[in-house]
Amino acid sequence: MTQSFRRPLACLALGLGIGISLASSSLHAAGADTTIRNGVFWKDTTGTPIYSQGRGILKIGARYYWYGVKYAEAVTYARAPGPTTDQPHFSAVTAYSSTDLVNWTFEGDVLTPVGLGQQYDPNAWLGRMGVVYNKQTRKYVLITQYSSKGTGGGVLFATSDSPAGPFVFERLQARIDNVATPTSGDQTVFIDDDGKPYLIFSNNGDRRQLYVAALRTSDYLAVEPATHIYSAPAGGREGNAMFKYKGLYYFCSSDLHGWNASRSFYMTSPNITGPFTPEKIIEGTEADFSHVSQNGFFIPVHGSAGTTVLYAGDRWSNFVGNGHGYNVWAPLSFDGAVPRFNSLSEFVLDAPRGTWEVGKGNNYVRNPGFEADRVRQTSVAGWVSSWTSLKGDAPFMNTAGGRASKWALTLRHPGQTMGSAIQNVTLPNGSYTLKAWIRSSGGQRVARLYAAGHGGATIALALPDQLEQWTEVTLPGIRVTTGSVQVGVYSEGKEGDWLSLDDVSLVRD
């Protein structure tokens, strides 16, 4: 593979919930790069961006098929990230195939407006899909959410004789029995160990209500009556998905934040229809709102040395401008039955062994681009700010106009003030380099980037005076011997002085 990004090995293997063993030790023997890198636009084997959102994967023999939606806005945003829109326009369902889950070949647009026939509405929403194979009908069945003001909404079914399509519209199920209001909200398809597929979803009319429902065994072209799982607090849930780990079913969801990033929640049960334990936050997702993504689905990667469960998140950057890339993967760790989200920009997955390790180029800073928060505020995810101000104003705030995405962090002095924004980072001992992009009005008495608490004297870099354009600054030689370090920016200034910070990185040398 010639492109710089290597797709996640197991990536999505299954919003469908299929337990897989990514065998192919030859992949590692050949020295292939199995590093998963978040925050970039992934590319196929021709170097063309992969457009696959609200997606799932189906394995057939030795080949994996990855299905997702191509939105017109995704193409525009990947080409030139900038002003965004919240009105998605469906272009096609795409399919990519791979034998190693690293190199993806574009198979084509497998469901298009033409394939939807009279059902097609150019302003309809289509997404959150999975594909299953029915042995009785010998058909591949695509199940997706569909919403149209003109033709109505519900669960849309399309079929094909081939996993590479084309798929054609079969039916639209406008009502699911035993559901508060007729149709599903966010949904995924989960396949249990016995091969039986289920729809995991919230209610469209009341997103607080969460459900599990089997697909009709004979043809998978209908959702059977649902079982109510949980009533969430006010605000509701999105990104509903399920995985199974060590005999427990994990029903997971995100906050109801629209296109924005959010925390993720989980409940467990030994039975797929419950009863489930009380809902809790997946630890680690609150620090940077799931690495600036929304809960998508989970991939159990079974190997000779164990099982790694991967979180597969959606980053709807084409609609809210919150960073680069459309898909985010992160490994989960478990303390007994309690999952923890490991927010990593880069990690290496050894699929044959079912293990992972932090990548050499991982950025240990959480929310480094200040894109996690949905609105402007003085309390920024992952960071702690402090200041002294006679006016009592809060000088630190995430502000629009970031270097490469929507947000940056700005300290604007209200009168004679001093303040800092810091992050305490836990990381392996070793030598690190801290970098950041800054802009500045200049005029501050003190402005510096620093690292402290790493086992030696504080290391600081005096920031240049007035900088109209974003400029990268570097603080090398941070020798960590305590397993942690505090990094941050500090400024002393007068009324009107300001300093903006963006895209901070702390990478091991």
Question: CA–CA separation, 254 vs 275, rounded Å?
Answer: 20
Same domain, 463 and 341: no
Three-state DSSP class for 185?
Answer: strand
Q: Find the angle CA(266)-CA(271)-CA(272) to the nearest 5 degrees.
A: 65
Least confident of 179-188, 290-299, 498-507: 179-188
For position 488, which CATH number holds? 2.60.120.260
Same domain, 501 and 396: yes
For position 194, which CATH number holds? 2.115.10.20
Question: CA–CA separation, 272 vs 311, rounded Å?
Answer: 19
Same domain, 334 and 403: no
Same domain, 440 and 301: no
Max mean pLDDT among 150-159, 194-203, 429-438 falls in: 429-438
Same domain, 330 and 390: no
Higher pLDDT, 7 or 498: 498
Residue 136 lies in a domain: no
Question: CA–CA separation, 50 vs 72, rounded Å?
Answer: 13
Residue 125 CB contacts under 8 Å (≥ 6 apart), including other chains? 88, 90, 145, 146, 147, 148
Same domain, 224 and 263: yes
pLDDT given for residue 30 in this prediction:
46
pLDDT in tens, 246-274: 999 999 999 998 899 999 999 999 999 99
Residue 408 lies in a domain: yes
Q: Is the pTM for the entire model greater than 0.95?
A: no
Same domain, 308 and 399: no
pLDDT given for residue 61 in this prediction:
75
Task: Among 338, 354, 370, give the residue marking a domain's end.
Answer: 354
Same domain, 315 and 417: no
Question: CA–CA separation, 227 vs 449, rounded Å?
Answer: 54
pLDDT in tens, 332-379: 999 999 999 999 999 988 878 888 999 999 999 999 999 999 888 888
Residue 340 lies in a domain: yes
Higher pLDDT, 28 or 186: 186
305: left (phi over 0), alpha (psi -120 to 50) or beta: alpha
Question: CA–CA separation, 264 vs 256, rounded Å?
Answer: 10
Q: Which two tokens stand for residue 46?
A: 């021709």
pLDDT given for residue 498 in this prediction:
93
Same domain, 349 and 485: no
Q: What is the largest CA-CA distance in the chain?
A: 76
pLDDT given for residue 321 in this prediction:
86
The residue segments making up the domain with residue 480 are 384-508
174: left (phi over 0), alpha (psi -120 to 50) or beta: alpha
Q: Are 313 and 300 in contact (CB under 8 A)?
A: no
Our count of domains for the chain comes to: 2
Q: How high does pLDDT run on average in the chain?
A: 88
pLDDT given for residue 393 in this prediction:
61
Confidence of residue 103 (pLDDT cuts 50, 70, 90): confident
Nearest to 210 by CA among 273, 291, 166, 264: 273
Same domain, 33 and 84: yes
Residue 445 has pLDDT above 80, yes or no: yes
Same domain, 75 and 210: yes
Residue 429 lies in a domain: yes
Same domain, 390 and 337: no
Residue 347 lies in a domain: yes
